[in-house]
Amino acid sequence: MLSIKEIKDGDGLYFKKVFDQYHQKLYSFILYKTKSEYIAEEVVQMAFTKLWKCRHTLQEEYTISTQLFRIATTVLIDFLRKHNTKNAVTTRLDSLDIEKGVDSTNEKMSGAELQKRITEAVNDLPPVRRQVFEMSREQGMTYREIAETLSVSSKTVETHIYKALKQIKKNII
C-alpha cells in the first residue's frame, strides 16, 4: 500500500509511482463518468497537479486512492460547472432570434444592443470582480489558475464569478 507520508514530504519519485499506479484507473473512472476522452485527460492532469500542490494538506488516515479520487471528483465538478456555465451563456445567446430581435423574454433587442448591454454590465463590475470575470470568460482560465495568478483562494474566485454573473444578468434584463 502506498503511503501518504512520502508524498507529503515531497518525494518526487514516490509521486511518480503514485502517478504510474493510478493514472489509468483515474482516467478510466473519469472517462466512464463523462464519456469524453478530452475531459478525462484534462481532469486527470488537473487532479494529479492538485494532489502535488496540496500534498501538505493530505490526511494520513485516508488512503492515497481515496484522496486522489476525491480530488478528481472535485476537479471534475469544477470543470463541468465552468464549461456548463460557458455553454449556457453561448446557448442563451445562440437562442436569440437576432433577425427578429426577439429573445425568450419577448423583449425586442438587437444582437448589437445585447452585446452593448453585456459590455456595459461587465464594465460596471468592481475592478477585481471584472478582472476575475474576464480571466475566466475571455481568457478561459480555470478558477484554480485565476486563484494562483491573483494569490486568492479558489472559493474567492468562485464568489467573484457568481456575483459578476448575478450583476450582469440583473443589468441586461
Summarised one tens digit per residue, pLDDT across range 62-76 is 888 899 999 999 898
C-alpha cell at 52: 502535488
77 closest CA partner among 46, 51, 113, 102? 46
Helix, strand counts (H, E) of the chain: 8, 0
- CATH top class, domain 1-81: mainly alpha
Outline which parts of the chain fall under CATH 1.10.1740.10: 1-81
Residue 27 pLDDT greater than 50, yes or no: yes
pLDDT band at 38 (very low <50, low <70, confident <90, very high): confident
Q: Strand, helix or coil at 55?
A: helix
∠ CA 143-147-149, nearest 5°, is 115
Q: What is the pLDDT of residue 28?
A: 93
Q: CB under 8 Å to 24, separation ≥6 — which residues?
A: none
Residue 22 pLDDT greater than 90, yes or no: yes
**Phi, psi angle pair for 157, to nearest 5°:** -60, -45
CATH architecture of 96-173: Orthogonal Bundle (1.10)
Outline which parts of the chain fall under CATH 1.10.10.10: 96-173
Summarised one tens digit per residue, pLDDT across range 119-169 is 888 888 898 998 998 888 878 888 888 999 889 898 999 999 889 888 888
Contact 26, 89 (CB under 8 A): no
Mean pLDDT value across residues 69-84: 85
